[in-house]
Amino acid sequence: MNALVLSRVQFALTAMFHYIYPPLTIGMGVILFIMATLRLKRKEPVYDEMLRFWVHLFGINFAVGVATGIVLEFQFGTNWAPYSRFVGDIFGAPLAAEGIFSFFLESGFLAVLLFGWNRVSKRAHWFASLMVALGATLSAFWIIVANSWQQTPAGFKLADGRAELADFFAAVFNPSTLPRFSHAIMGAWVTGAFFVAGISAWYLLKGRHAEFARKSLAISIVFALVATAGAAIIGDWHTRQVAHTQPEKFAAMETLFKTTEGAPLLIIGYPLPEVGIPKLLSFMTYYDPNAKVLGLDAFPKEDIPPVAVTAMTFHAMVYSGGFLSLVALLGVWLLYKKTLEKKKWYLRLLVACIPLPFLLNELGWMTAEIGRQPWIVYHLLRTKDAYSVTVPAGQILTSIILFALLYAALFALGFSLNRKAILQGPHEGKEDKP
């Protein structure tokens, strides 16, 4: 493999591994705030246990996420020097804002949540939980601003072969920022909700920490329904935005090879035999069943993204998200009927669902990034022109191997710490009687 392919593999490896953790902590941050609010209002000891336990798990995953994310920004300067020169004036502001205004807000108040027990009031803890949730969400916003600018550049001018910032607000709120940010946040909420729900279900299956698990499960399953519904609604908005601003990507996502009036929505598509609903794609995209939807034949071959991977990751994300929506809806119904904890098969299903939102986040990232190819900055800079030609392929391969080993060790450490905390349970492992 050449240096370009290896550079892409290295960035994909580090980015995808890092992206395991931020969605989890963003979603858990909101759940922590909900628990801290209930702790203030209801004044029941179980909420002390809940907040303390879930903050501990939050802290473990936050630490691993920070350690894995540092590498990403260094790769811009080492493996992607032409890209860094091209976008540096644009990316500087959001990346700096993420570090100064978001990361320090989240990490500073996380210290209060972790070490403030018996040192600060419950109201101070509540405020700290709000700031942690806000800081995590703002951190995602600034990162997505930078990435969205690559997808739909705005607020810039070209000078001396570089993109220079001309309008800060136009660049920040480029056409894809709000739908992509909202969709990513909903994905994070789904991840945090099913993580908490799955662990709580496991405790109920084991007959441990019954009151703690019941209340944690009730909060998380309702939150999961809100999050999955929000992800579906915002996902539709985001897909229509892609259709208008990145039509090549949209055509690849929907495997629409020919420009069509009254385009069908494919339920099954390439590389399998096509099965679709007539005119539904046109209606969902333009609210007109007879509207023309551009197919891949409308674009130069050199501008068409990899169709199979883009389409398969997109549809796998949609179908998996739909499945999680049904799981959450069923859970809320069982909660309403007061039979949730008695349905052992459903509790086992929740445990099995823990990894699925993590996979959904990765699939969404793959759809967005692979679907943008062959551009690293859409219609401005091709990926093949953006890598560092002076870095030998052998050095990149060596660094990939080292990163893989390091990240495997970090994953093992994080998994081990999570497992130990879960097995121990809340308040130092003392059991509640079911």
Q: Across the chain, which distance is largest between two alpha carbons, in Å?
A: 71
In sequence order, the 6+-apart residues with CB closer than 8 A to the CB of 192 are 23, 24, 25, 26, 27, 28, 29, 30, 31, 220, 223
Unique residue bearing structure tokens 């496991």: 202
Pairing outcome for strands 375-377 and 292-293: unpaired
Q: Residue 269: its pLDDT value, please?
A: 63
Cβ atoms of 262 and 221 closer than 8 Å: no
Q: Residue 186: its pLDDT value, please?
A: 94
Cβ atoms of 65 and 21 closer than 8 Å: yes
**Hey, which residues does 163 pair with through a beta bridge?**
158
CA distance readout (Å), 245 to 148, 154, 180: 12, 12, 13
CA atoms within a 13 Å half-sphere pointing along the CA-CB vector of 315: 19
In this prediction the pTM is 0.89
pLDDT one-digit tens code per residue, 82-125: 888 888 878 877 777 777 777 777 778 888 888 878 788 888 88
Q: Residue 432: its pLDDT value, please?
A: 37
The span from the CA of 160 to the CA of 352, in Å, is: 54
Which has the closest alpha carbon to 215: 428, 31, 421, 40?
31
Q: Residue 431: its pLDDT value, please?
A: 40
User: What b/e sequence results for 419-429 when a residue is b if at least 16 CB atoms lie within 10 Å of its CB, and e otherwise?
Assistant: eebeeebbbee
Which has the closest alpha carbon to 347: 356, 334, 360?
334
Name residues of the chain where pLDDT drops below 70.
1, 269-273, 428-434
In degrees to the nearest 10, what's the CA dihedral of 355, 357, 358, 360?
130
In sequence order, the 6+-apart residues with CB closer than 8 A to the CB of 356 are 194, 320, 323, 324
Taking residue 190's Cβ as centre, other Cβ atoms within 10 Å add up to: 29
pLDDT one-digit tens code per residue, 189-221: 999 999 999 999 999 998 888 888 989 999 999
Q: Residue 271: its pLDDT value, please?
A: 63
Q: Residue 140: its pLDDT value, please?
A: 86
The residue type found at 7 is S
Q: Residue 113: its pLDDT value, please?
A: 80
Cβ atoms of 133 and 107 closer than 8 Å: no
The residue type found at 381 is L
